[in-house]
Structure 1
Amino acid sequence: MVAKQGWKFLREPSSLVARIYKEKYFSSVQFSKASLGKAPSLIWRSIWSAREVVLRGTSILGADSKVRCKGESSNDSEKSELWKHIWELEVYGGCKHFLWKAVSNTLPTRANLYKRKIIEDPLCPICQREEENVLHALWSCPAASDVWGEMLSPVQKWRLEEKDFQQLWLRMVKRLTKNQIEITVNIMKRIWGRRNEVLFENKFMDPGKLVQNALIGWEVFLEANKKTCDTVREVSSISKQGWEKPVGNCCKVNFDAALDMVNKKIGLGIIVRNNAGDIMAAVCTPRKLVVSPFLVECHALWRSMEVCRELGFWDIILEGDAKNVIDRVNSATEDESEWGQIITDLKTVLGRCDGWSLNFIHREKNGVAHFLAKMALNLDEERCWIEEGPIQIEQLIVKEKSCITLNT
């Protein structure tokens, strides 16, 4: 409550209470520079004791050591943008709350605990050289500097120019891309976690491994969020313009591929269905990354042909959204490109089976195969389902079967 009264002195200097206290205790200076004075009242002593908390709050709100009072130009928009930027980052909630505490200087660093008289020593528990404030713990400590010097660090060659963490954060916001900021926040969170492990468990993680774990954690978070969004989009698009059933008694084989450049993997997805939309087979195949996206799609087509031969499907329509690959395989002319031999091999296999045909379709009609390809990225070995599929595609299959019913 006394801190709140001090805050009112700054925000409402023309109020009656503020003018009375100013006249009595700090007539020639601002409240931020007021001294305790001689024979202070108990109330003024309490307000003055809370002055540091108030001033820390003003610096957090972006006032640059000067409080914007009524009648002055406001800095609220800059403050609002600062917090808005934090909450819009694509990192998990724990990272956002950690960053908020770091920027607002409420992390339980040894310096903060020392000021509150909880501990007697403010020195950094790792280097034992300097007082451990937020900037030191996350940036300038030699142990933290080793982390930021790693090759994968977005701020590898940055120098320390700021006096507090909030200034450092503002510089990062101005100079780094959104992805670089998100990686940096994940690394900071890991640095703080390692600091706690040193303090409480006597463990110390290698800088390179720390950065690698931070990157993996961020990528896993993005992939999980992307899968959720992709599922919603796929269900929505399929309900509008989805898979079309094959004519007659033949089956339709949809195939697709997905790439994970970070983990250097590809995923192949294959779904075989009859003219009622029932699943005959489903396949998720993870493989090591190949050199070209074109080759990735070739792998998907080749594996779908292998699956059909292994399971004895001889009257089929192969469908995919890789137009470049499908057009070349269906072309009557010889392919003389660098991947010409692969195209020739695909043509040969397709030509040997009289009941096989290959068609191009747009992505919205290839949703299940695409989803299976994304699933394959998280597998260590191939998975195959006969006359059923993974539970994750049940909703997509039901949607597409409903489209068949509506169109007949």
Structure 2
Amino acid sequence: MRKVMAEDRCSRCGQEGEDSFHVFYLCPTAKEIWSHLNFSWILNNSHLDTWSWLTWVFSQGTNEQCRSFCCGFWLIWTNRNKLLYESRSSTSWDISKQIKSYILELEGSRERELNVGTSVRSRQSLQMVKNAIFFYAAFDLKNSKSASGLVVSNEEGRIVAAKSTLHENIASPFTAEAVAGLQATRLGIQLGFNTLDIIGDSRTVITKCQNTSRDKSEIGAIISDIQSLKDQYRRINFYFIPRSENTEAHSLAKETLKKGEEQYLERETLRSFRGEIEPNHRVSLE
């Protein structure tokens, strides 16, 4: 494995020369991260170099453990680069939370793939029954930013409004999706809906919103905020749909993150968020 080109000393601990084996194995911060993730066992064998260590980890770990290990490996490197090139420092605990969030998001993505084409309530039937807000979150790992895309449909299934919001200091796609769900819940109140379906393609976030028990995960505070707003509705439901059926919210969030411009639009027909948008008029929700 190629050595890390850096200063003589590790940018995190400053204790010794920084090569790839030090970054991922010897550095005290790396050891703390592996411990937070219950991966202390990968440090129990003596290794002379990165390659022999990696070979041993992949021979000993289960498929799930190897997947989590790769996620940790990637985010340790990402945060090392943020410290070196952007002077942005994260604690071992913060990095381990990011890793856990990514793992949960990967699990949610796998569930979405398995559920495409299954007997989930179709989007059309959801729209024709009552008001609905579809949400999606686009995430920028490099800058820790996200954009929430919210698309509002009426009881006839017609898209009548769309709103996008930019967010700073977002730790992971998992957190970004939870924030978008909170934005959707607030938007329904601002629009005066008494009954509402909130629909998204992050199964993990939707499941947490459906539950009434206290959530103890890293997005627990956001889920708690969503739960506290439920009483302002006569009835509110949360539904999962595949990403392929959430195209408008997806495109809106992606375009907003790309351009760095928030928007709120009201219109009768939504042709495309990727081309020129010609709203009937703009309003402020504040």
The alignment's TM-score, normalised by the length of structure 1, stands at: 0.35
Higher RCO, Cα 8 Å, sep 6+: 2
| Structure showing greater Rg | 1
Which is richer in helix?
1
